[in-house]
Structure 1
Amino acid sequence: MNQVAYAIGERRGELLDQEQHWERMTADQKMALYDLNRFGYRLLFVRMMPEGPLAVVSQQSELAVIDFEGEVNLRPDIKLREESQ
């Protein structure tokens, strides 16, 4: 499954701050992110998907996702949209 993740803001034009993204995460996602923080991963944003929130995290140029159940995918098939100047 190929997903496109948007780093600029919500597709609806609503920009969320880091705390608002954090609040959208499930408890399982937060626990998984705590574990990934030890390896330098940081939360980029959370997308609301039909099956539940999907957290997109990064460690330098490496992307990973955490599904609503807290399962981590270190090799997701996603692309971030480049920020337009």
Structure 2
Amino acid sequence: MKLQDALFNWLQMKIVAAARPDDWAAGETLAFFEEILHEDHELDELDMKAADEETIEVNYRDKAGSMQTMRFPREMAEKLLTDIQAEPKYNQ
């Protein structure tokens, strides 16, 4: 899996898991993407923060030890949570 794809998937799951702390599947999926980022891409210190109203940043330490940042559109990053919240079978 490409780094950008893995970071985006991790970001989506981080948002879902934060909004739904009792959602076991969200936590497991988040852990899965963290494992990919740690083992396959050798990243550490993953963190996300809102850069502005339209962008979310993912910050991480790469295998060389340098801090890096990748930005994603907020609307795209939050879409999975929006879709889950709109589906009644996931909100019982």
Which entry has the higher C-alpha Rg, 1 or 2?
A: 2
Structure 2 length-normalised TM? 0.31
- The structure carrying a bigger strand percent of its residues is 1
Q: Could you say which structure has the greater relative contact order, defined with CA pairs below 8 angstroms and 6 or more residues apart?
A: 1
